[in-house]
Amino acid sequence: MKPMSGLIAALLVVLATPVSSEVYRSVDAYGNVTYTDEPTNGAERVEVEPVTTIKLPKPEVVQETSELRKEVRRKGAAYEELSFNYPENNQAFYSGNGDIMFQVQSSPPLQPGHRFEVTLDGQPVGQSSDGSIDVNNVFRGTHEARVFIIDEKGVQIKTGPSITFTVHRPSVLN
């Protein structure tokens, strides 16, 4: 083997190995916390969890928009009503730890493969097929929730009305 070929092969092996770095945490005399990739005196190594990724469907699997809309209307038409049982719209309540158990229902009941999905302030917070969705550590203040029915592919086929509610929690200052 020629020396240049060996050098190229070694370079390819080095480039093909996964890149991983260590993260270190240190606290200075004033209590300021610093994270870095270089070890320093008194720094402790921190285990960093891998980043969560979401795989999107391949373009050839995704339906055309008009076909999807027709299917959503057809499946959603099977439900006459979708609503929250708890909390009620404009309700205010105390929750020391911020936990809320949303109770939702549909008429008729869910079809096989369908689930309820609740969003809180526009973000999905849980799915359920039995109508109970627990959400933990909801911040105090006023929030907006909405319920959807989703099919087995995760497509929203029915939208319920939004509700507004207020959570009262003790303050660490009081």
Give the mean pLDDT per block of 10 residues along the chain (174 residues).
60 53 86 87 84 58 63 75 94 91 93 91 91 91 94 84 93 68
Rounded to whole angstroms, the Cα distance separating 144 from 163 reads 6
Cβ neighbourhood burial of 86 (10 Å; 0-12, 13-18, 19+): middle
Percent of the chain with pLDDT over 70: 74
Is the CB of residue 101 less than 8 Å from the CB of residue 127?
no
Res 39: pLDDT: 86
Residue 17 pLDDT: 47
65-168, which class in CATH?
mainly beta
Domain ranges of the chain: 21-53, 65-168
For residue 166, which phi and psi values (nearest 5 degrees)? -120, 130
pLDDT at 147: 95
pLDDT attached to residue 130: 93
- How high is the pLDDT of residue 131? 93
